[in-house]
């Protein structure tokens, strides 16, 4: 594969831009790289700026982008500790990369000499300076706090490390009419069933993709969601309507290992392909809102609330640890708002 690769700034993030001859085989290969995206405006593919990707595409890594042996050893120990606590691979990767970024900023300072003032300095001179998101900053703080809990003889006081104040954003919700349009857009039974199951059960994307045929318990009328976020199992009601759809789908496609599989039997259906299924549905029904798969989950929760379902049950169905997370849907439910008469109507 012949390519040209360079470092670019894309929407405030540092990315690796990759250009190559337009061939289907090459496009499929670049799609396999985690986090790869196509930019229509730049007419090129771009990837996360990671050490692995720099090595893969032969981009020279700056000298100051290397850690001391002491810090490499510390990160390795931290990963081993996370592994022993049974953190998920994705969490271990996120936390180790976040910690690496922090320690790299103080490349000439021993870990034992890092203080709370250094955390403030890092936030101001790196995160804010590069206009990085509050969620990224929160990941860094989580990693720092967890890491410094695992080592001794340090100057830092972890109880005084504060997380950034998060913006209070309302979840994006579709009307029932919009949901019906989107779910009815596909004639392909597999695509229709996937989107319908996300909405009918309030599933996260990864939860849908990791379902197995045995997780559909038709006799009890439930779907079993295993080891989802926070390594928790939960059950949700199975709609009779979606059960009929699942039976039609199963009879047609006969999945082997996963409920929804890729082109190769037994292969997990990809997240990118699922996103593409939604994108195609939106194009067919001419919905111009920037709808994501998570909007269907938000809509499920909001529509349950508007139909009178108790907030405590919705919390269980969504798998939320805290009721405060579920309470956000009370701010987008229109059931009570529709009963309020505007004084403008009396003028």
Q: Which domains does the chain have, with CATH numbers?
A: 3-61 (no CATH), 65-160 (1.10.150.130), 176-331 (1.10.443.10)
Catalytic site includes residue 204: yes
**At residue 96, does pLDDT exceed 50?**
yes
For residues 282 and 290, give the distance between their C-alpha atoms in angstroms, rounded to a whole number: 9
Catalytic site includes residue 294: yes
Beta bridge partners of 217: 222
Q: What is the arithmetic mean of pLDDT over 204-221?
A: 94
Q: What is the pLDDT of residues 20-34, one digit of tens each?
A: 888 777 788 888 888
Conformation bin of residue 225: beta by default, left when phi > 0, alpha when psi is -120 to 50: beta
* Annotated catalytic residue, options 37, 229, 234, 284: 229
Catalytic site includes residue 191: no
Q: What is the arithmetic mean of pLDDT over 77-90?
A: 88
First-to-last CA distance in the chain?
Answer: 70
**At residue 40, does pLDDT exceed 80?**
yes
* Annotated catalytic residue, options 37, 56, 109, 294: 294
Strand ranges in the chain using DSSP code E only, listed in sequence order = 3-10, 13-20, 37-39, 44-48, 216-217, 222-225, 234-237
Residue 4 confidence class, pLDDT cut points 50, 70, 90:
confident
Q: What is the pTM of this model?
A: 0.66
Catalytic site includes residue 136: no
Catalytic site includes residue 331: no
* Annotated catalytic residue, options 190, 204, 226, 284: 204
Q: What is the arithmetic mean of pLDDT over 233-253?
A: 94
pLDDT at 63: 41
Catalytic site includes residue 320: yes
- Interior angle at CA 271, CA 228 and CA 207, nearest 5: 20
Residue 62 confidence class, pLDDT cut points 50, 70, 90:
very low
pLDDT at 51: 58
**What is the rounded (10 degree) CA torsion for 205, 211, 215, 217?**
60
* Annotated catalytic residue, options 100, 297, 298, 303: 297
Q: Which residue has the higher pLDDT, 69 or 344?
A: 69
**At residue 325, does pLDDT exceed 90?**
no
């Amino acid at each position: 594969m012949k390519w040209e690769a360079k470092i670019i700034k894309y929407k405030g993030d540092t990315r690796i831009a990759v250009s190559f001859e337009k061939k289907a085989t090459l496009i499929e290969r670049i799609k396999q790289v985690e986090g790869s995206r196509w930019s229509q405006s730049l007419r090129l593919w771009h990837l996360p700026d990671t050490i692995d990707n720099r090595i893969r595409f032969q981009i020279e890594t700056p000298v100051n982008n290397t850690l001391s042996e002491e810090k490499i050893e510390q990160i390795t120990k931290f990963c081993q500790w996370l592994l022993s606590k049974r953190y998920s691979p994705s969490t271990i990767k996120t936390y180790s990369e976040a910690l690496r970024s922090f320690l790299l900023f103080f490349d000439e300072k021993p870990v034992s000499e890092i203080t709370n003032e250094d955390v403030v300095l890092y936030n101001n001179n790196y995160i804010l300076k590069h206009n990085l998101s509050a969620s990224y900053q929160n990941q860094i703080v989580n990693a720092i706090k967890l890491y410094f809990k695992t080592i001794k003889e340090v100057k830092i006081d972890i109880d005084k490390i504060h997380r950034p104040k998060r913006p209070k954003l309302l979840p994006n919700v579709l009307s029932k009419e919009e949901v019906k349009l989107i779910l009815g857009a596909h004639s392909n039974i597999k695509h229709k069933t996937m989107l319908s199951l996300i909405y009918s059960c309030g599933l996260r994307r990864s939860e849908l993709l990791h379902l197995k045929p045995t997780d559909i318990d038709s006799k009890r009328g439930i779907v079993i969601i295993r080891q989802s976020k926070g390594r928790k199992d939960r059950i949700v009601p199975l709609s009779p309507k979606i059960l009929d759809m699942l039976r039609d789908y199963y009879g047609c496609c006969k999945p082997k290992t996963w409920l929804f599989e890729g082109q190769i039997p037994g292969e997990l259906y990809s997240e990118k392909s699922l996103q593409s299924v939604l994108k195609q549905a939106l194009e067919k029904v001419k919905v111009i809102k920037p709808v994501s798969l998570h909007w269907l989950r938000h809509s499920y929760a909001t529509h349950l609330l508007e139909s009178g379902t108790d907030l405590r049950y919705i919390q269980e169905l969504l798998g939320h640890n805290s009721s405060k997370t579920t309470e956000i849907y009370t701010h987008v439910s229109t059931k009570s708002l529709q009963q309020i008469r505007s004084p403008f109507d009396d003028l």
